[in-house]
Amino acid sequence: MSTYDSAKAQFADWGIDTEAAINRLKDIPISMHCWQGDDVVGFEKKTGTSGGGIQATGNYPGRARTPDELRADLDFAYGMIPGSHRLNLHAMYLDTDETPDRDEIEYKHFAPWVDWAKAQGIGLDFNPTFFAHEKADDNLTLSHPDKGVRDFWIEHGQRSRDIAARMGNELGSACVNNIWVPDGYKDVPIDRMAARQRLQASLDAMLSPKQDKGLMLDAVESKLFGIGVEACTVGSHEFYMGYAIRKGTLLCLDMGHFHPTENIADKLSACALSLDEILLHVSRPMRWDSDHVILLNDDIQAMANELVTADLLGRTRIGLDFFDATISRTAAWVIGTRNMQKALLRALLLPLDQLRKAEEALDFTTRFMLTEEFKDLPFGAVWAEFCARNDAPTGTTLINDLEAYQSSVSAR
Ligand SMILES: C[C@H](O)[C@H](O)[C@@H](O)C(=O)CO
Ligand SMILES: [Mn+2]
């Protein structure tokens, strides 16, 4: 009997169908973020750091410096990740010899990405870039008191939505256009209300041109605080939760954008009762929004469990948001994305019926015994089978492949 067949039989003893879990997992796309590949630098013809309170630290060799290098790294990474996934692109990652300012970007500046995505058979998601620009140096963009600055960013946001819609059209798969602005105050502001009113009015203007939801979906991302905006973030959770519900956009829950002890998984079912769809930025905050690569830890597992137990996989877009420049960037992508998939697989292998029955009967002892005893089941064998069926390596082969690729790009 193969290792997998033995594992399959053990799960079957609990009434779990490993084949069903494997088949379901294959069809869950993860939107991998382009910015892990180059430390959130982008390809605009200028220098400068990401700003906006986000920061990649480290100087590991091999950072992608051009769109071609980034695509080569992505090609490799997708080959190591079982299943078919998406790429989450930021507007600062344009691929063109032209030098459009943010309020001048057009679809043509991103067309090479779409050609590549078509060839790879992957979908694209998109983000306007409201940071790393002189007009964001005040840490205020859409909520800036200066109408000229606000209008500049509204134009950028509208153009991003057009680009996202065209991407969705070209690829036959709706492109999520996620809006995150760094706006906030280092010290206690006098007029939070005015700032929030300005942000709301700018968002309204930005989102007013009608777009086909079959082609692009608007999402808004809240945040607790960032470096340099410790006292007040204009686009807080409450702000965007209300906005998303009123406007029918997706709400983006970034796991690093809440108080460190908050349980983000708990928010899913609560938000989902008032929203059609949710976007996740799966991340790992350490003391702050540090964007560490995700581990297969309790937080990630709790998130995956909620997606499955609350039946939210069909209306949650799973995106990743981490960037670590102290380790191989391709290894970060591959291991991080696979960790999300491993968590989903474990969630899909839960004895849900038994757990639900116990909970409904207030039999918390059975619920407790089941969850804990279940942790000993051979998940690794099911994961290895999933990888094998999807031509993705595991174990020492995976490690060797990751090391060999890293060696091939270290001289950059
Ligand atoms: C680069 C991303 O847009 C960014 O990480 C954003 O999603 C965020 O989480 C900012 O803290
Ligand atoms: Mn995020």
Ligand 1 pocket residue status of 254, Cβ below 6 Å: yes
Tell me: pLDDT of 108 over 70: yes
90 annotated as ligand-binding: no
Residues 6 or more apart whose CB falls under 8 angstroms from that of 376 comprise none
Question: What letter represents residue 76's amino acid?
Answer: F
ipTM for the complex shown: 0.98
Q: In whole angstroms, give the CA distance from residue 60 to residue 51.
A: 20
Average pLDDT over residues 293-306: 98
CA 87 to chain centroid, in Å, comes to 10
Tell me: pLDDT of 232 over 80: yes
Average pLDDT over residues 180-194: 98
266 annotated as ligand-binding: no
Mutate to test the pocket of ligand 1, among 236, 281, 284, 318 (most ligand atoms within 8 A of CB): 281
Mutate to test the pocket of ligand 1, among 36, 49, 50, 221 (most ligand atoms within 8 A of CB): 221
User: pLDDT tens digits for 116-152?
Assistant: 999 999 999 999 999 999 999 999 999 999 999 999 9
Q: In whole angstroms, give the CA distance from residue 138 to residue 136.
A: 5
Share of the chain above pLDDT 70, in %: 99
Average pLDDT over residues 259-265: 95
Nearest CA to ligand 1 atom 5: 321
27-348 maps to CATH 1.10.540.10: no
pLDDT at 45: 82
Q: In whole angstroms, give the CA distance from residue 11 to residue 70.
A: 40
Assign 308 a pLDDT band (cuts: 50, 70, 90).
very high
**65 with 329: CB under 8 angstroms?**
no
User: pLDDT tens digits for 378-387?
Assistant: 999 999 999 9
Tell me: pLDDT of 55 over 90: no
Ligand nearest to the CA of 235: 1
pLDDT at 127: 98
Average pLDDT over residues 50-75: 91
Average pLDDT over residues 224-252: 97
Assign 54 a pLDDT band (cuts: 50, 70, 90).
confident
Which atom belonging to ligand 1 lies closest to the Cα atom of 53? 11
Q: Kindly state the tokens that stand for 133.
A: 């620009």
Ligand 1 pocket residue status of 221, Cβ below 6 Å: yes
Tell me: pLDDT of 375 over 70: yes
Q: How far apart are the first and last CA of the chain?
A: 47
User: pLDDT tens digits for 191-222?
Assistant: 999 999 999 999 999 999 999 999 999 999 99
pLDDT at 53: 75
Neighbours of 351 (CB within 10 A): 18
Question: How far is the centre of ligand 2, averaged over its atoms, from the C-alpha of 237 (Å)?
Answer: 13
Tell me: pLDDT of 48 over 70: no
Sign of CA dihedral 155, 160, 166, 169: negative
Pairing of strands 184-185, 232-233: antiparallel
289 annotated as ligand-binding: yes
Average pLDDT over residues 170-193: 98
Which atom belonging to ligand 1 lies closest to the Cα atom of 226? 11
Mean pLDDT of the chain: 97
Q: Where are the domains of the chain?
A: 27-348
Assign 49 a pLDDT band (cuts: 50, 70, 90).
low
User: pLDDT tens digits for 142-162?
Assistant: 999 999 999 999 999 999 999
Q: In whole angstroms, give the CA distance from residue 55 to residue 40.
A: 8
pLDDT at 281: 98
Share of the chain above pLDDT 90, in %: 96
